[in-house]
Structure 1
Amino acid sequence: MEIGETLEECVVRETKEESGLDIEITGLLGIYTDPAHVIAYADGEVRQEFNITFYGRVVGGCIAVSAESTEVRFLRLDELSKLPVHDTVRLRLNHYAEKRSQPYLG
């Protein structure tokens, strides 16, 4: 997040920067934390996962790779089952597929 922006503004901006797409937020899928999901970066930084996942829809822009992404494309949910995805990300994808009526808190 940048100083002075809301979480929603951050999501819209980051999506544009990383994918080239303009989006609007349409809801909240959930808030995800997992103390076992620790990420160690090459520069020595270590982080514990914390993720807020929103529903959104594309309202403009053009899908494109940027300096912040290496590949950008749309996938069907069934295509994701064949890709190596961390368990915590798979949980979010499963919750999306379930069309949950209430946001997940966990």
Structure 2
Amino acid sequence: MTPTDVESGSGGTGLSAVRRVHFRDPDAPVATVVTPSVFVAVREEQGHLLLVRRRDSGAWELPGGRVDVGESAVEAAVRETAEEAGLRVRITGLVGLFSDPAHVVEAATGDEIRQQFVLCFHGWVVWGRPHPDGHETTDAAWFEPAVVEALTLEPGARRWIHHALAGASEPHLE
């Protein structure tokens, strides 16, 4: 798979810096750091899945991001969902641990090449209506699971979503 160039910091008006996502790309650079991140497969009463559209790439993904120093993975998952999608969620379980060393992200600043280390959680909406933050996300919406496959998804996110929707009794581990 080839790398995906995504704009960062310019809001879609012109390239100022580019974040490159490599997923199972034999020409990907070697990671210099492992970055713990969390993503949340949030569901609601009708079974719809919450997705956010990234400002930099225009692709859809689960809300999420890096775990900050001093917070737990669950706290980060709740915080990231509130920041990116405007929803308060309750974490209800673990979709899986995704640590494929062939999922590499080159930072837009060029000073970091990180291997993704993702904890993906199941979550349930507690309150709020989806809305983007206008900084990292340009849209936040509920989707019927059947239409998710047809969306342009962030590289790597398709696997997390697939496992989240699969209904497995045990979390995916890699």
Residue matched to 1:48: 115
Alignment gaps of 5+ in structure 1:
none
How far the C-alpha of 1:57 sits from its partner, in A, is 0.4
Give me the whole-angstrom Cα distance separating, in 2, the residues matched to 1:91 and 1:46: 21
Is 1:33–2:99 an aligned residue pair? yes
Could you give the per-residue CA deviations for residues 37-92 of structure 1, whole angstroms, max 9, x where no partner exists? 11123211321121100000000123211123122111122212112225632222
Give me the whole-angstrom Cα distance separating, in 2, the residues matched to 1:43 and 1:96: 31
Tell me whether 25-34 or 94-103 shows the greater mean CA deviation.
94-103
**Compared CA separation, residues 86 and 62, structure 1 to 2 (3 A):** closer
Tell me whether 43-52 or 17-26 shows the greater mean CA deviation.
43-52
**Compared CA separation, residues 2 and 85, structure 1 to 2 (3 A):** closer
Residue matched to 1:94: 162
Higher percent of residues as helix: 1
Q: Report the aligned-residue RMSD.
A: 1.6
Structure 1 contact 38–49 (Cα < 8 Å) conserved: yes
Give me the whole-angstrom Cα distance separating, in 1, the residues matched to 2:157 and 2:68: 24
Match for 2:84 among 7, 18, 23?
18
How far the C-alpha of 1:5 sits from its partner, in A, is 2.4
Paired residue type of 2:92: T
Give me the whole-angstrom Cα distance separating, in 2, the residues matched to 1:13 and 1:86: 20
Give me the whole-angstrom Cα distance separating, in 1, the residues matched to 2:88 and 2:165: 23
SS in 2 for 1:51: strand
TM-score by length of 2: 0.56
Q: Percent identity?
A: 38
Paired residue type of 2:127: G
Residue matched to 1:61: 128
**Compared CA separation, residues 2 and 34, structure 1 to 2 (3 A):** closer
Alignment gaps of 5+ in structure 2:
1-66
